[in-house]
Amino acid sequence: MENKWWLIEDEETLHKARISNNYKKKVLLQKKLYIFDQDGTTYLDFKPLPGAREIVAYLMKKSKSYVVFISNNSSKSTYTYQKKLSSILDISISENQIYTSTLATIQYLKLNGINSVYAVGTPDFEKELMNHGIELTEENPELVIVAFDTTLTYEKLKKACLFIRNGIEYVATHPDKVCPTQEGYIPDTGSFIALIETATDVKPKKILGKPNPDLINFLLDKFNLSPSDAIIFGDRLYTDILMGKNSNITTALMLTGESKIKDIERYGIIPDFVFINFEEVLQLLRS
């Protein structure tokens, strides 16, 4: 893997560092689609992470390019994310710039002709499903969906497990085990999957969202671009970066969230670039 930091001890090392930075700048500026993860990359709770506001504003002014935001967090609707991002970044973000694991799940349901489900999810998640014509039911669902439910109750888990034990298949919106907050990491959908697997001895039929490449492929088709035109910025190796690798696009690990340098060897997932935060990216682009 290419060195991302250099201990400047002599002119030769300084020269290597400059070449490395020039290469990274060239690659970044050549892109046409900039894909930003949200939680842990662009912001944490309701606070923008260092340089996030400035880099988004910078890239949105770049001609012939697109800036989009993706998230595995299925607890909020597209509308909620649009309002939240616009407020946090103090930039006008449209709903058309936001793509979540909820939308990936809806696309999966449509493609497979599934019309009724039992959902383990928040009211926002349920509303998003209903807005797309999906019926929510507690009697004979075609499928059980497990999402990031911050309103989770034992009763919901019990019903889901009983359906699954009786032969109803289930899918999950995404595999994230924890969700970053200012208080610390809290249980996410991956943790719920583990609980349900333990209680039913059944694995999900499919896990949607990152690192599944379907969302990236959808975006490339939407904007009529090739993989070489896109880059993803994310804080998780096993979701953000792996999805980028699975889609053959450029990947940039941001050390603002869950994954750290030591995790690269642990997971065996090597990003194309590693940045401390977006202040470093912005400084590079402006150099």
Q: What is the pLDDT of residue 274?
A: 93
CA 10-16-22 angle, to 5 degrees, is: 135
Quickly state the pLDDT bin for 5 (edges 50, 70, 90): very low
**Is 0.95 surpassed by the pTM of this model?**
no
The one-letter code for the residue type at 94 is: S
Q: Tell me the three state secondary structure of residue 38.
A: coil
User: For a pLDDT cut of 70, what percent of the chain falls above it?
Assistant: 93
Name, in order, each residue with C-beta under 8 angstroms of 257's C-beta and a sequence gap of 6 or more.
39, 40, 41, 44, 180, 235, 236
- If you write DSSP's letter for every residue of 194-254 in order, what string do you get? HHHHHHH----SEE-STT-THHHHHHHHHTT--GGGEEEEES-IIIIIHHHHHHT-EEEEE
Section 241-264 average pLDDT = 95
CB 43 within 8 A of CB 88: yes
Phi-psi region of 270 (alpha: psi -120 to 50; beta: other; left: phi over 0): beta
Mean pLDDT of the chain: 92
Considering the domain 11-72+210-286, what is its CATH architecture? Answer: 3-Layer(aba) Sandwich (3.40)
Q: Tell me the three state secondary structure of residue 186.
A: strand
The one-letter code for the residue type at 207 is: I
Residue-wise pLDDT for 142-189, tens only, equals: 999 999 999 999 999 999 999 999 999 999 999 989 998 889 999 999
Name, in order, each residue with C-beta under 8 angstroms of 158's C-beta and a sequence gap of 6 or more.
none
Q: What is the pLDDT of residue 3?
A: 46
CB 105 within 8 A of CB 78: no
Query: Domain 102-207 sits in which CATH superfamily?
Result: HAD superfamily/HAD-like (3.40.50.1000)
Q: What is the pLDDT of residue 45?
A: 86
Q: Supply φ then ψ for residue 65, to 5 degrees.
A: -140, 160
Residue-wise pLDDT for 7-66, tens only, equals: 445 555 544 555 588 889 999 999 999 999 998 999 998 999 999 999 999 999 998 899
CB 41 within 8 A of CB 141: no
Domain positions in the chain are 11-72+210-286, 102-207
Section 198-213 average pLDDT = 96
Cis before 180 (ω within 30): no
Residue 103 is inside which H or E element, if any? helix 101-111
11-72+210-286 with 102-207: one CATH topology?
yes
CB 27 within 8 A of CB 255: no
Which pair of structure tokens corresponds to residue 100? 């979540």
Owner of token pair 């999402």: 147
